[in-house]
Amino acid sequence: MPELKVLISRDQIASRVAEIGADITRDLSGQPVIFVGVLKGAAIFLADLARQVQLDASFDFIGVSSYGNRPSPAQELQHGWDSTGEVRLTKDVDQSMRDRNVILVEDILDTGLTLNFLKRVLLGHQPKSLRIVALLDKPSRRKQPMQADYVGFAIPDEFVVGYGLDYAEQYRNLPDICVVPRPV
């Protein structure tokens, strides 16, 4: 098991999540919202963020995977997720998004492929508004332009786990965000 180093502590996460929650509360000025979390990595972030937003809110979840070419966990760790851009929907939202204020909640914005895909999918549901919130952003890895409306932390090109993020389905329950060292 690799040695993990804390990059962002649980206290730093909590105060940044509270700030983003206050921003969303202010920006939506009393309107109801629906949080749409991207499975599975955004589940913990969504749960914490939603409790920092003082608006009427409901939850939904959406699922994606990359078309058969997601690298093995070891390759992913070494080179990142260099998908060819073929993202596929594994679970659509359950509720109607029509004329609603949708807040798409993602754990990490990396190449931008996933959020570009999901933005298209959700706009197809004709919401009243769509905002994107990403807890983490690795701007240096972008392959397609994508900017989230709210970003928790910009981070360097490291593979991170914890607070919902996994390495081969492990470490999602770590309270801090940690760096997995790349093999030398």
Contacting positions for ligand IMP (CB under 6 A) = 41, 81, 106-115, 159-161, 165
* Strands 5-8 and 57-66, bridge-based pairing: unpaired
Q: Supply the minimum distance, in Å, between the C-beta of residue 98 and ligand IMP.
A: 26
Rounded to whole angstroms, how far apart are CA atoms 138 and 91?
A: 25
Choice between 28 and 49, CB closer to ligand IMP: 49
Question: Of 32 and 181, which has the nearer Cβ to ligand IMP?
Answer: 181
Residue of 48, 60, 107, 110 with catalytic role = 110
Identify which of residues 32 and 156 has a Cβ nearer to ligand IMP in the complex. 156
94 is catalytic: no
Q: What is the DSSP string of 57-90?
A: EEEEEEEEEESS-PPPHHHHHHH-----S-EEEE
* Smallest separation, CB 29 to ligand IMP (Å): 30
Q: Among residues 28 and 108, whose Cβ is nearest to ligand IMP? A: 108
With b for 16 or more beta-carbon neighbours within 10 A and e for fewer, the 83-104 pattern comes to bebebeeeeebeeebeebbbbb
How crowded is residue 48: how many other Cβ atoms within 10 Å of its Cβ?
18
Distance CA 87, CA 73 (A): 18
Would you name the residues annotated as active-site residues? 110
